[in-house]
Each structure stands twice: as structure tokens, then as C-alpha cells.
């Protein structure tokens, strides 16, 4: 046990900040369609809503098939996996073989999107179908992929309702999150945030 008082320390920016401290992120699986119409899935944790309306963004690199598939088709899907799907989510990060395929994806149960040309991972809890709005390149080797949500589905037991307490709902249906770098957690207990009186978005 370290009994010394912590001191506020400058981080060395020769290395990414995000590899020097732990930060919490959503964990999703982005789905795209390959040129042969097969499904491609990849886990992403640098993801976020774009404002308060139905827009979604995530970080990717042009070196990945995910980016190139979206550039070609203009569409992608988002599956929010459940905690018991953490190993499955990891499998979607498997490296490609010499023929540029991911054979591990063949064993993953999937189903088709309803509006875009794409696929989802079965047994997730929220599903988004997105149309590409734009790429924003130039974040080192990475880019932002910005999309509009054109269809969304969720299981009825995870949809918020006035008759069901929010904390109870999360307890009954825990959330899987990525704790970067290299860890994950399951959130099953939350507290209401203490917003100031008359707070507005």
C-alpha cells in the first residue's frame, strides 16, 4: 500500500494520454458490408452521440476495412452488446487472414438491418442503423465517422418508461463498458446525477 500523498503530475505527451490513465467508454460493435455482401464487425469504444438528436459518431482509421466499407456503401450499423457478450465482442477484433477475411465471424449469430444494407450481432440490447454524413480526417492516423441514425431498435425490457425506476432497470439489465486501456467493466448500479435546479440541456 502506498502511503504517500498523490501529487498532480504532468503527463508526457510524447505518448498518448489515453494510455497513461484509465477512462471509461461505451463499447459497441460496428457492422459494415464487404464487397462480397458478407458482414464485417469490429468493436469500437471511441463512440458518442452527436448532440441531442439522432446522430452518432465514432473514431476509426482509413487503414481498417470498417472505414473503407463505409466509404463505399455510405452505411453502417451499431450493436450495443450485453455483458455476457464480451468474449464475442473480442472475437470481432480478430486479425484478418492472408486472404483478408475473418473466419471467426462466420460463427457469430447475426440478423439483417431493416433500413440500411447491413447486419447486427444477435442478443445485443440496442441496435442503430446509420447513413454516413461525412468523414473528418486528420486526427493523426485516425478519422471521425459521422452518421445519421435512420432506424433504431431496442428490446422492450430495456426501453426507459415512467413506470420503471431507472436504477432498477440498469440493475436488471447491466451495461457493458470499456475501461481503456485494455479492461472492461459491468455497470449494474447507478445514482441520479445532481443537476442544479432549473438545469436545461
Give me 173's grid cell.
439489465
Q: What is the pTM of this model?
A: 0.91
Residue pair 148/133 in contact (Cβ under 8 Å)? The answer is yes
How many independent structural domains does the chain possess? Answer: 1
Residue pair 73/33 in contact (Cβ under 8 Å)? The answer is yes
Residues 151-182 pLDDT 10s = 999 999 899 888 888 889 999 999 999 999 99
Residues 49-86 pLDDT 10s = 999 999 999 999 999 999 999 999 999 999 999 999 99
Strand partners, 55: 148
Torsion angle in degrees (nearest 10) through CA of 33, 39, 40, 41: 120
CATH number at residue 72: 2.30.110.10
Considering the domain boundaries, does residue 168 fall inside one?
Answer: yes
Residue pair 129/77 in contact (Cβ under 8 Å)? The answer is yes
| Confidence grade of residue 101 (pLDDT, cut at 50, 70, 90) | low
Considering the domain boundaries, does residue 99 fall inside one?
Answer: yes
Considering the domain boundaries, does residue 17 fall inside one?
Answer: no
Considering the domain boundaries, does residue 86 fall inside one?
Answer: yes
Range of the domain at 64: 22-187
Residue pair 147/63 in contact (Cβ under 8 Å)? The answer is no
Considering the domain boundaries, does residue 201 fall inside one?
Answer: no
Amino acid at each position: 500500500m502506498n502511503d504517500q500523498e498523490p501529487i498532480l503530475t504532468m503527463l508526457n505527451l510524447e505518448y498518448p494520454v489515453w494510455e497513461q490513465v484509465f477512462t471509461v467508454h461505451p463499447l459497441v460493435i460496428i457492422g459494415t458490408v464487404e464487397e462480397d455482401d458478407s458482414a464485417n464487425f469490429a468493436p469500437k469504444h471511441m463512440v458518442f452521440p452527436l448532440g441531442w438528436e439522432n446522430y452518432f459518431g465514432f473514431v476509426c482509421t482509413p487503414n481498417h476495412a470498417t472505414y473503407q466499407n463505409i466509404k463505399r456503401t455510405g452505411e453502417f450499423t451499431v450493436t450495443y452488446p450485453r455483458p455476457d457478450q464480451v468474449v464475442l465482442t473480442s472475437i470481432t477484433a480478430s486479425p484478418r487472414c492472408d486472404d483478408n477475411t475473418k473466419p471467426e465471424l462466420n460463427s457469430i449469430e447475426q440478423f439483417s438491418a431493416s433500413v440500411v444494407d447491413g447486419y447486427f450481432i444477435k442478443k445485443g440490447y440496442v441496435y442503430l442503423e446509420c447513413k454516413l454524413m461525412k468523414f473528418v480526417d486528420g486526427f493523426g492516423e485516425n478519422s471521425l465517422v459521422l452518421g445519421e441514425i435512420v432506424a433504431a431498435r431496442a428490446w422492450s425490457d430495456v426501453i426507459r418508461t415512467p413506470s420503471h425506476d431507472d436504477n432498477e432497470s440498469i440493475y436488471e439489465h447491466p451495461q457493458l463498458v470499456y475501461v481503456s486501456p485494455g479492461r472492461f467493466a459491468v455497470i449494474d448500479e447507478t445514482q441520479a446525477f445532481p443537476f442544479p435546479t432549473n438545469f436545461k440541456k
